[in-house]
Structure 1
Amino acid sequence: MSVIGEAALSGFLDLLVGKSLDSALNFVADHNQLHQQLKQWQSILPDIQAVLDDAEENQIKNMGVKKWLENLQDLAYDVDDILDEFAYEELRLNLQDTQPQARPSKIRKFIPDRIIRSIFPPTSFQFKNSMITKVKDITDRLNSLTTRRSSLGLSEILSQAATSKGKQPRLQPTSVLDGVVEYVGRHKEKTEMIELLKGNNLNGVSVLSIVGMGGMGKTTLAQLVYNDATINKSFDLKAWVCFSDNFDAIALTKAILQSITSETCDYSNLDLLQVKLKEKLTGKRFLLVLDDIWNENYNDWTILRSPFGAGTTIIVTTRLQIVSSIVDPLKAFHLDKLSDDDCLSIFTQHALKARNFDGHPQFKEIGEKIIRKCNGLPLAAKAIGSLLRTVKYHREWERIYESEIWNLPEEQCGIIPALRLSYHHLPSYLKRCFAYCSILPKDYEFEEEEMILLWRAEGLLQQKAMPQVKDIGNQYFQDLVSRSFFQISSKDESRFVMHDLINDLAQVVAGDICSKLEGDMQQKFSNRTRHSSYIVSDYDTVKKFEAFDQVKSLRTFLPLIFSRNYFSRPFLTEVRFG
């Protein structure tokens, strides 16, 4: 399954519609035909951009919309290539103008410039004439996409976006634990959190944060602590509130107040709500869980926590390290992967209603392979175990193992929406950087500077002044670390790695645009491929590179050497063909 990431594409179009296209328009201002064509681009592209969000929502169910997005993505890259040609020619001419000029001949002084230009057209004019066919072809394709957009009903979908998005809201976790399943793997963190919560917190608000990527078990850990019997004895009042995507202080305060009073609250004034909440909490020990916080605004946080005082302890769960910093926790618990043994217990409880394979030896070997594929992610162990709960045949277990997790039915598998939600919340410029990372092999360990250089080579770091490039790259990189897309390597703290399922997610959102040539199996790349990595082996032959036969516009070719337990990069190659 391949899904076009609309926001990454939208970010790409932002760049094209913005500075790149403006520069090209200035450069061709003296060429009427080209200038008119580019002005059409400038008016058509924003109209197409306006329906991208709705196109993404409909592409899974509508193959026509998916094909439209694929064609748009190809076109965006072709537009970028043409704008690059204009930028290169302008730079070349500017450099040429700075070179010492030969003295004009005496005869040339007496010939008018317009006559000279008619006999010997300037290089710039020749170049612009040569670009007419290419530009006209792009304009025709843009017009075709606009016509096709209307026939797909994307314009109508746009007007209904607000209501259609609200039809199936994301199901929010609650404080209630599954009484059937025994939870494993977080006993150390649970014990430490409970000890901190039971300590003296009468001097002010205490905050504990739980941080980790989607599916790592943050909410489960909070549930374990919230429902612990000793915690119930340590607090007078408790409340559990799950954040929505949009921060609403009034709704959140009202939800907290209703949780502790069990009364319907009709106030819509934030001040009245907070005064009433503060009155209810005075002199009480209060435990509040704020689950799944995405909001990074410090002012919003200070407003929300203002009614709380001595005796209040707050547990925050979040995927973002920056949120953990904003809430200023007494301690932050960063959740890492579970051990294979813990994943095995989660998996077998959901698949076999047992703690292990002792009663089902026929599934032991294939089950352990599935568990290794979960790569320490408890949500994956739970989701795949749940899929196999009613499956009694060994061959069906093999089929699940052989399939990619991303090919499992989305309505049955919680992994896909859980991880895609993290991607959905990325700014568009980070979505492009993340999707590009799909060319990295699984388990590839990389340095921050290495990744920044790759992004810079592809023009993903947008800046006005060259000295700022590295700073912007560092900011992008650390943002992705903060959001758990990159994790510090367990082997070398100076290097980073992507979780296997995060790597899969990158491939899903990048689609055919990014490809990896790896292993000995014969591969064929799509003609849409623009970026590729290649794992070098000792006995490569020309036949292996037939995978690139259909690739006409490759931009990136990244050779990687696998040596013992790590990959190394012999050199970085940024190429453009076509």
Structure 2
Amino acid sequence: MAAAETFVFNIAQKVLEKLGSLAFQEARLIWGAESDLGRFEKTLSTVKAVLLDAEEQQVHNQELTVWHGQLKEVFYDAQDVLDEFECEALRRQVVEMQGSTIRKVSRFFSSSNPLVFRTKMAHKVKDIRARLDEVAADRAKFHLSPRSDDRNVVRGREMSYSFVQASDVIGRGQDKDKIVEYLMDPSDGQSISVVSVVGIGGLGKTALAKLVFNDERVIEHFELKCWVCVSDEFFLKQLLVKMIKSITSENRSDLDEEQLQVLLRNNLDGKKFFLVLDDVWNEDRGKWIELRNLLMGGANGSKILVTTRSPTIASMMGTMPPYNLEGLLHQESLSLFIKWAFDEGKERQHTNLLEIGDAIVKKCKGVPLAVKSLGSLLYSKLDERDWLFVRDNEMWKLNIKEGDILSVLQLSYNQMPSYLKQCFTFLSLFPKDHEFITFDLIPLWMASGLLQSPNENELEDIGNQYIDELHSRCFLEDYIDLGYMREFKIHDLAHDLALSLAQSECLIINCQIQNISKKVWHLSYVDNSWQNENVLKCLQKSKGLRTILSVVEGVGPSTKSFVDSCVSKFRYLRVLDLSNSSFEVLPSSIGAMKHLRLLDLSSNCRIHKLPNSICKLQNLQALDLSGCEKLEELPKDIRYLIRLRMFSVTTKQKSLPGCPNSLRCLQLSNCGNLESLVEMMQVYTSLRFLRIDNCGGLISLLPILKFLTTLEASAIENCEKLDLIEMEDNQDDFPTSFRALHFIGLPQLVAMPDWIKHSANSLQILMIESCPNLTAFPKWLVNLKSLRRLTILNCPKLSALSKEKLGLPALRSFRIAKCPELIRRCQPEIGVDWHMIAHASDIYLDGKRIK
């Protein structure tokens, strides 16, 4: 089934939600569209009732697929029409809220005569109603049955590991030991040896490689370790950037290929290194030889571990026979299934389900991803019918082999609520191995109208809930919950599934592309294709585009022509990503893009100023100006962006103008001249996350904290003058509901701020890193009864956790490194502070796992 057609139900739902909202009920009366919109709503409700049935039946009925596609076009156009009413309402709201400055504001928002707007919109509504009536009339011939989407997102159990623990990988101990033996063997006569692990998708090649990569023997044997996920493309420059980032933690995408090669050689020179090339697909031997030659500067005994699904690649790259990874034994598979399908020990209470589960596991043929996916699908389900549905599903008529593992993932996909399906397939716009963070992804989902919630205040929470659900269904990996955001990747097989489902709606373009369907609504570019005249010509047909994304770091438009084309041709864009661009001027016509929800101008190295017309974008929810190092000031009317929720900025200003109080997330980075935030902060009544990074002139935050009572998370990084413990007269005014705090690179931090203790009942995550003058924790540390993760890195003067006897009851994860005295006090059994942390399930001291 083409997922683009499964989106139809969601679009219909969104249109109905908008029609039914109180604000829109008022708008349709004001603009005289009540009659036609009422008839449109009635027809839409009737059609929506049979859409889920139509989505299933269209697999076997091409005529039904065509009908579905026609509906989708009508619904998208209906969204645009309804949004125009909303845009006008927002414009009027801004004009009315300004009071004495109304004349000035009216000029700024000059628009057509209200009577002209009313007449124009009446014609558009009549046209859209007539089109829907015409298409809807054909539904009778398909004999469709009404159905409701009664599947809800259920948050899975918490699994927040960013690493692979040996206890989580079942049945791979012998495989790990054999590969480690190969890596330790000095007798193969090769200056650089290559070990290839080959097997079908879903067998756990990457998980096995991670076990090897983190094995104590490997860590001690090699001077340098490097992990690179290669995936579909084998672009040398991108691989060099990844290698250097893995080795040095620095992103050097600003360098050209020759400079990167020199830098890599310098880092490898004379060192015995271990390199993992994960998920290799390209069979071009010439490209492999080119890369291998760059690695010859390492010391003898250096090793490379390759994982691939292709035996041809394994033979081509390996210097020894490939290691063929086999499926798990049945008992191992069953243990893995139980781990994912039941809470620990609860399986004994459901022997009837275990019997069915045993039959399901046999059908998985030892493929761990299939086992985990179906186990997670059945987690918390105690009705036999759900288990029998999986056991007797038609997908088992296929043999589990390379392509058919997708059938197992599709079964899990099919059981998702329809709105979660759309969010999942949207991920197909990103390349394999893309590192997602919630601050980037959730605004995209939000801008595209994919988050389902009657309460706009909860949209960020809904987005995080969707991510957790996708993770619990095994679609995501390398998942980290940092409290204020999540980081993760999409599993490569899940990415294959998303691509196959979304191919007619979402498209990744490159310079080689010859044609772009006018039915494509969302696209991303992975190279300099925006400079290709043929690509730009193909894009002209897609006037209904909703999304243009740049998804590869360092790749962005360098000329104003691409921006001009976007602004003039794609009037209905919701998302415009111009990150990593290098044009000097953003056209003032940007103000006409009234449907725009997300605008990303981050990492533009040349732009000095933004046109004030950008402040006409009343629908804008996310604006990213981070990394715009030459930006001299923000537009003076930025307060008119009354729907702005997420704002990231780099600027040369000493103080920032007042921004709209709709903000939920504010990120200030590399604002070296910034001295005060008081002026802009006094209006924020909804801010939930504040991040301040590398703002060297900032001295204090205390004057503003009293205004930010809704804050839930904050990250303060690399601010060398910032003092967080300056006394205030009344600290009771401070936020009391922090869930996560990160303090990184703060030399002025000598003691923990007392205002943290007001969040004793809510604080779950506390991370302190590179605070060289921090000497002690306060007594009230033990009062943090909700703290579940405590991380302390590179704080050498920190001498103790607390003198109190009581511990931290909720603590699950405790990590310290480069804190000599504290490490000594936290030694198992004998350390003075061991009693405070001994109950945690995840303890690391100087990188070594204790338990």
TM-score (norm 1): 0.52
Q: Do residues 502 (structure 1) and 494 (structure 2) align?
A: yes
The whole-number CA distance in structure 2 between the counterparts of 1:86 and 1:95 is: 15
For 1:188, the equivalent position in structure 2 comes to 172
Alpha-carbon offset, residue 150 of structure 1: 1.4
The question of whether the paired residues in 1 share the 8 Å contact of 2:524 and 2:549 is answered with yes
1:477 paired residue number: 467
Q: How far 1:224 moved relative to its partner?
A: 3.8
CA deviation map 1:88-126 (0-9, x unaligned): 11111122223336999xxxxxxxxxxxxxxxx994443
Please list every run of 5 or more consecutive structure 2 residues that lacks an aligned counterpart in the other structure. Answer: 104-110, 149-168, 177-200, 205-326, 342-349, 362-369, 382-396, 556-577, 582-597, 601-616, 620-851
Given the alignment, which residue of 148, 152, 167 partners 2:138? 148
> What is the aligned counterpart of 1:551 among 538, 542, 546?
542
* Shift in alpha-carbon separation, 1:122–1:570, aligned structure 2, 3 A: closer
Higher RCO, 1 or 2 (CA under 8 Å, sep at least 6)? 1
Amino acid at match of 1:26: E
Aligned to 2:580: 570
Moved more, 426-435 or 23-32: 23-32
Counterpart residue number, 1:512: 504
> What residue identity is the alignment partner of 1:570?
N
Helix, strand or coil at the partner of 2:552: strand
Amino acid at match of 2:76: Y
Q: Is the 8 A contact 1:452 1:477 kept in 2?
A: no
Say which structure is richer in helix. Answer: 1
The aligned counterpart of 2:414 is: 424
Between the aligned partners of 1:449 and 1:101, the Cα distance in structure 2 is 37
Q: Does 1:442 align with 2:421?
A: no
Q: Given the superposition, is the C-alpha separation of residues 557 and 103 from structure 1 closer, same or farther in structure 2, using an over 3 Å criterion?
A: closer
Residue type at the aligned position of 1:99: Q
Q: Does 1:383 align with 2:374?
A: no
Counterpart secondary structure, 2:543: coil
Determine the structure 2 residue equivalent to 1:129: 119
1:323-377 alpha-carbon deviations (Å, 9 max, x no partner): 79869xxxxxxxxxxxxxxxxxxxxxxxxxxxxxxxxxxxxxxxxxxxxxxxxxx
Alignment of 1:28 with 2:28, yes or no, is yes
Which residue number corresponds to residue 367 of structure 1?
Answer: none
AA in 1 matched with 2:546: R
Structure 1 pair 93–501 and aligned structure 2 pair: CA distance change class (3 A): same
Aligned-partner SS, 1:69: helix
C-alpha spacing 1:441/1:9, structure 2 compared with 1 (3 Å): same
Q: How far is the alpha carbon of 1:548 from its aligned partner?
A: 0.6
Partner in structure 1 of residue 515 of structure 2:
524
Shift in Å, 1:550:
0.9
Instruction: Provide the C-alpha distance between the structure 1 equivalents of 2:334 and 2:537, rounded to a whole number of angstroms.
Output: 59
User: How far off its partner does 1:81 sit?
Assistant: 1.1
Instruction: Kindly indicate whether the alpha-carbon contact (under 8 Å) linking 2:410 and 2:497 is maintained by their aligned counterparts in 1.
Output: yes
User: Number of residues paired by the alignment?
Assistant: 358
* Secondary structure, aligned partner of 2:551: strand
Cα deviation, 1:8-39, whole Å, max 9, x if unaligned, reads 4322322211244444332121454x211111
Secondary structure in structure 2 of the residue aligned to 1:478: helix
Closer, same or farther: CA 540–420 of 1 in aligned 2, 3 Å: same
Alignment of 1:327-366 (within 5 A): none
C-alpha separation in 2, matches of 1:539 and 1:147: 41
Structure 2: distance between partners of 1:323 and 1:103: 56
Contact 1:430 1:476 in 2 (8 A): yes
Equivalent position SS for 1:488 = strand
Name the aligned partner's letter for residue 50 of structure 1.
Answer: A
- 1:51 pairs with 2:158: no
In the alignment, residue 53 of structure 1 is paired with which amino acid? L
Report Cα offsets for 1:38-59 as digits up to 9, x if no partner. 1112111121112222212222
SS state at 2:416 partner: coil
Q: Distance in 2 between matches of 1:495 and 1:102?
A: 44
CA distance in structure 2 between the partners assigned to 1:477 and 1:12 by the alignment: 21
Quick one: distance in 1 between partners of 2:359 and 2:19?
A: 43
- Relative to structure 1, the CA distance from residue 563 to residue 98 in structure 2 (aligned partners, 3 Å threshold; closer, same or farther) is closer
**What's 1:78 paired with?**
77
CA distance in 2, matches of 1:429, 1:3: 11
> Which AA in structure 1 matches 2:401?
A
- List, as ranges, runs of 4+ consecutive aligned residues in structure 1 with deviation greater than 6 Å: 101-104, 189-192, 252-257, 320-325
> Which residue of structure 2 lines up, in the alignment, with residue 405 of structure 1?
none
The alpha-carbon deviation at position 322 of structure 1 amounts to 6.9
Give me the CA root mean square deviation.
4.8
Deviation at 1:145, TM superposition (A): 1.8
Q: Counterpart in 2 of 1:14?
A: 13
- The 1:76–1:511 alpha-carbon spacing in structure 2 relative to 1, beyond 3 Å, is farther
Sort the Cα spacing of 1:320 and 1:474 in 2 relative to 1 into closer, same or farther, 3 A: farther
Q: Show structure 1 runs of 5+ residues with no match.
A: 105-120, 163-184, 193-213, 229-239, 244-251, 260-287, 293-315, 328-378, 385-412
Cα deviation, 1:442-500, whole Å, max 9, x if unaligned, reads 3322223211122122232344555533222222222212212222179x997422233
Distance (whole Å) between structure 2 residues aligned to residue 458 and residue 289 of structure 1: 42
Contact (CA 8 Å) 1:445, 1:489: kept in 2 or not?
no
Partner of 2:476: 486
Query: In the alignment, which residue of structure 1 is the partner of 2:835?
Result: none
Instruction: Name the structure 1 match of 2:442.
Output: 452
Instruction: Give the TM-score, by structure 2 length.
Output: 0.36
User: Aligned equivalents of 1:469 and 1:53: distance in 2?
Assistant: 25
For residue 5 of structure 1, report the CA deviation from its aligned partner.
4.5
Letter matched to residue 477 of structure 2 = Q
**Contact 2:4-2:501 at 8 Å conserved across structures:** yes
